[in-house]
Amino acid sequence: MTKIADPSAAPPSIWLDRATAPRVLTLVLIAGLGALNMNIFLPTLPAMAAFFQTDYALVQLAVSAYLGVTALLQLVVGPLSDRYGRRPVMLAGLAIFLVATVACILSTNIVTFLVFRMIQATVATGIVLSRAVVRDMVSADKAASMIGYVTMGMSLVPMVGPVLGGILGETFGWQSTFIFTLLFGLGVSAIVYLDMGETNRTRSASFGEQFRSYPELVRSRRFWGYALIAAFASGGFFAFLGGAPYVASRVLGMTPGETGLYFGLIAVGYMIGNGLSGRYAESIGINGMAMMGSVTAVAGMVIACALFLVGIQTPLSLFGPILLVGLGNGLTLPSANAGMVSVRPHLAGSASGLGGALMIGGGAALSAITGALLGPGSGAWPLLLMMLATLSMGIAASVYVVLRARVVEAQGGDPL
């Protein structure tokens, strides 16, 4: 199915064979579970605030604080997988996630719920390690292409997630969204156990050695360039996750079902962008794809701001341009992620973890800030301007990467 990058890499994958690398479908499901856990309950946030008799800002920590814990976990997950292997770390993360999900369903107060919601963040092992597994199997440009296909398939899950979450929430209550996530997680865990063989054939000698490798990554300018591209692209998206439910409900008067339906637009754009990445990343190159995606995302936010500025404030004027943001991120993130784990291939797990921590940590901060800025009389502007500023910084980071690649190439190095 895939060409092996070097003799030490994993053998070609065979479906449901624990001795070989996982199939693309397995990687899609692993990453998709994390995406589903992130967004299926978003349309029910106002209902959760009513259930727990607390304010929206506190319940919104289920998004922003969850992202913060996810960021911290990624700093550990990557080195753990470089030391002990991708498979055992993945299975352990999924087991903890399933237990925490049951506890979330049974929670009767907001403190208990938020504690176990934070523990649910262990599902992030799937997102981190799916990138590292791909890089274990193929080279940089091919990794961007393969990650594009993986995330294209994965984007089907969050496309359906908010829609399904809105319907479930209105019909059965907010707990039903977590019950669905639990059932999906059980199925994914079974497939991972049966299909995901070990792909890390060059494990480090000790766990401490992996943490000592971080300075090598920190000194890499290209790593920082790709990490910042990914951080700004995902930061715009997470700001949207933190503020869009409030804007949809309180500013535009949308029901949870309607909100979930419109949330699907960003996933549609993301799926299209990932499909284009899978098709063209190897021929255009990861730097060109990242630049095109950054510009596309900013164009979407310029359109949204213009519509609200002239008084056109409808669900479509908010969520329609968001499709372009999703498209831009679909073009950008596979290449940025491939760049991060390819600058130092022997540190792919650590690079994925550190880069992911920057992405998710920045997203957590932006999500929390956006949620805090939104309130009576603010309208949608805190959300729109936060997203525009964040995504614009992605263009600057993309320009830096292109210029840095030219310098490296002129010095006889590999520009990726």
The token pair that represents 372 in the structure block: 């805090």
d(CA 76, CA 356): 11
The predicted model scores a pTM of 0.70
In a domain, residue 255? The reply is yes
pLDDT of residue 325: 94
Unique residue bearing structure tokens 């990453």: 31
CB atoms within 10 A of CB 156: 16
Per-residue pLDDT, 3: 39
Please tell me whether residue 55 adopts helix, strand or coil conformation: coil
Question: In the block, which residue shows the tokens 């943001």?
Answer: 325
Is 3 within a domain?
Answer: no
Measured CA to CA, the distance from residue 385 to residue 313 in angstroms comes to 15
Confidence check: pLDDT of 109 > 50: yes
Closest C-alpha to 291, from 400, 143, 145, 152: 400
83 pLDDT higher than 60: yes
Q: For residues 43, 237, 152 and 400, what is the CA-based torsion angle, rounded to 10 degrees?
A: 180
Q: 17-46 pLDDT, tens per residue? A: 676 778 878 888 888 898 889 888 888 888
Burial 348-357 (b: 16+ CB within 10 A, else e): bbbbbbbbbb
Q: 46: which 2 tokens?
A: 């106002």
**Which of residues 378 and 119 earns the better pLDDT score?**
119
Q: Is residue 120 part of a domain?
A: yes
User: Average of pLDDT values for 299-322?
Assistant: 93
Q: Is the pLDDT of residue 403 over 70?
A: yes
How many Å apart are CA 372 and CA 57, to the nearest integer? 7
Cα–Cα distance between 100 and 73 in angstroms, integer?
15
DSSP assignment of 352-376: HHHHHHHHHHHHHHHHHHHHHH--T
User: What single letter denotes the amino acid at residue 251?
Assistant: V
CA 164 to CA 273: how far, in whole Å? 23
Task: Provide mean pLDDT across the span 136-145.
Answer: 67
pLDDT value of position 6: 45
The model's confidence at residue 327, banded by pLDDT at 50, 70 and 90, is: very high
| Tokens (6 digits) for 195 | 């299909």
In a domain, 5, yes or no: no
Report the distance separating Cα 191 and Cα 212, nearest Å. 34
Amino acid occupying residue 209 = E
Q: How confident is the model at residue 349 (pLDDT cuts 50, 70, 90)?
A: low
Q: 389: which 2 tokens? A: 């500023």
**Residue 47 predicted with pLDDT over 80:** yes
Residue 414 in this model has a pLDDT that exceeds 80:
no
- Domain membership flag for residue 14: no
DSSP H helices, 6-139, are 24-39, 45-51, 56-59, 61-84, 86-106, 110-119, 124-137
Question: Which residues are CB-neighbours of 105 under 8 A, at least 6 positions away?
Answer: 175, 178, 179, 182
Whole-number pLDDT of residue 328 = 94
Confidence label for 116 from pLDDT (cuts 50, 70 and 90): very high
Residues whose CB falls within 8 Å of the CB of residue 106, separated by 6 or more in sequence, listed in order: none
pLDDT band at 176 (very low <50, low <70, confident <90, very high): very high
Q: Is residue 296 part of a domain?
A: yes
Helix residue spans in 285-413 (DSSP H)? 286-309, 315-342, 348-373, 381-410
**Distances 25 to 30, 274, 362 between C-alpha atoms, Å:** 9, 15, 29
Q: Count of domains in the chain?
A: 1
pLDDT digits (tens, 9 = 90+) for 224-266: 899 999 989 988 888 887 788 888 888 888 887 788 788 878 8
Domain span including residue 355:
24-199+209-410
- In angstroms, the CA 350 to CA 210 distance is 7
Q: Tell me, yes or no, whether 319 lies in a domain.
A: yes
Contacts of 310 (CB under 8 A, 6+ apart): none
Instruction: Give a yes or no: residue 268 inside a domain.
Output: yes
The CATH number covering residue 389 comes to 1.20.1250.20
